[in-house]
Structure 1
Amino acid sequence: MHSFCCHMGGQEEGELCAGLQRLKQEHGPLREQKQRLFERAQAIAGAKEEKNWREWLLALRESVQVFVNELDPHSEREEGVLFPMMEQYIGRTSGPIAVMEYEHEQAKQRLASFLAETAELPETVDRDRAAALANVVIDAYHILAEHFMKEENVLFPMAERLLSAEEKEELAEKISQI
């Protein structure tokens, strides 16, 4: 993918200020955790033989909770700091910020739904119910996979071009406090 900033006299592709670089780097461990969730959820959703579905779902639930605890502060750094800083340049009600916020909400809603639905599982869970619950996690995975790609390839380079040096310093300072 071409970097627009190279053609606009900006920085070379891949160079991000400290705050944006931190947000991008946070995607690495989140991506790894998300991949493990996806694999576990796929194992449940695609299993043909009988299993102790409750046990499998509870193990997945534990992993989802750990993931959400890591994802939430990252999302807060974006929603509470980066997005408002970019809003003055590109608006918030439509365009990239609106899309990013919508995707955050969709992924969070699915993960919260899974956690709520698995909070008090009955002693026996049938295969269809287990697969349906696992598919909620799989949906969240797909939303976040595309979302991270959009942030890394579109939003972060755009922010690098739009934000002033002072704003970039402010971004790094504010996100380090979350």
Structure 2
Amino acid sequence: MHSFCHMNGQGEVKLCAGLERLKKEHGPLREQKQRLFEQAQAIVGDKEGQNWKERLLALRENVQAFVNELDPHSQREEGVLFPMLAQYIGRTSGPIAVMEYEHDQANQRLASFLTKTAELPETVDCESAVALANEVIDAYHILAEHFMKEENVLFPMAERLLSDEEKEELSEKISQI
């Protein structure tokens, strides 16, 4: 069984089209995620703030837009890449289990934020606003580390393990999602 440590430090790997696409999708997602983080941090850092509800609703709109972009990306990974890679390294422990766990953790935080902000009371206190913003901040941290692991470990590992035919299949299947 391959571990994260085993696959590190083997230099830059040229990725096949499918893996390169998944990696490139991280760019716009990373930019959106950064804006969410800054917006949430501004809420957390403003203890005297006014308009908590308006600010949370603005953040909510941006979180929803981010989730709309993140979901298809996650589906391409979970529905296509992970099962293909699992044939070589298993799925119940190791890198894929970690990746799926991190997807779940980030999704839970974002979904919780969206649910809790769907019907905010007329006035939102500082403590509630900070708790809600922290869910977005937590998701940000999970995804920041997650993207790094995929780009530096998982994608290069997949490039080394998948056959040329599997790489072609990966590219075809992810383009359908």
Structure 2's unaligned 5+ residue stretches are 1-5
5 Å-filtered alignment, 1:23-62, equals 23-62=22-61
Q: Per the alignment, do residues 169 and 6 of structure 1 end up closer, same or farther by CA in structure 2, a change over 3 Å counting?
A: farther
Matched, 1:115 2:102: no
Equivalent residue number for residue 167 of structure 1: 166
Equivalent residue number for residue 146 of structure 2: 147
CA distance in 1, matches of 2:140, 2:112: 14
CA distance in 2, matches of 1:6, 1:143: 23
Alignment check: 8 A CA contact 1:17 1:160 kept: yes
CA distance in 1, matches of 2:98, 2:57: 32
CA distance in 1, matches of 2:20, 2:162: 14
Report the AA paired with residue 76 of structure 2. Answer: R
Report the AA paired with residue 152 of structure 2. Answer: N
Equivalent residue number for residue 126 of structure 2: 127
Equivalent position SS for 2:49: coil
Equivalent residue number for residue 93 of structure 1: 92
TM-score norm. by structure 2 comes to 0.94
CA distance in 1, matches of 2:26, 2:8: 22
Deviations 1:121-167 (A, max 9, x none): 01100011000000000000000000000000000000000000000
Count of paired positions? 173
Alignment check: 8 A CA contact 2:8 2:153 kept: no
Query: Shift in Å at residue 6 of structure 1?
Result: 8.8
CA distance in 1, matches of 2:45, 2:28: 25
Query: Shift in Å at residue 14 of structure 1?
Result: 3.7
Identity %: 81
TM-score norm. by structure 1 comes to 0.94
Query: Shift in Å at residue 13 of structure 1?
Result: 1.4
Structure 1's unaligned 5+ residue stretches are none
Report the AA paired with residue 168 of structure 1. Answer: K
Report the AA paired with residue 158 of structure 2. Answer: A
Deviations 1:67-109 (A, max 9, x none): 0000000000000000000011000000000000000000000
Q: Alignment RMSD, CA only?
A: 1.6
Query: Shift in Å at residue 48 of structure 1?
Result: 2.6
Q: Per the alignment, do residues 25 and 105 of structure 1 end up closer, same or farther by CA in structure 2, a change over 3 Å counting?
A: same
Equivalent residue number for residue 74 of structure 2: 75
> Which 4+ stretches in 1 moved above 6 angstroms?
none
Query: Shift in Å at residue 118 of structure 1?
Result: 0.2
Query: Shift in Å at residue 4 of structure 1?
Result: 5.1
CA distance in 2, matches of 1:61, 1:135: 13
Alignment check: 8 A CA contact 1:19 1:175 kept: yes
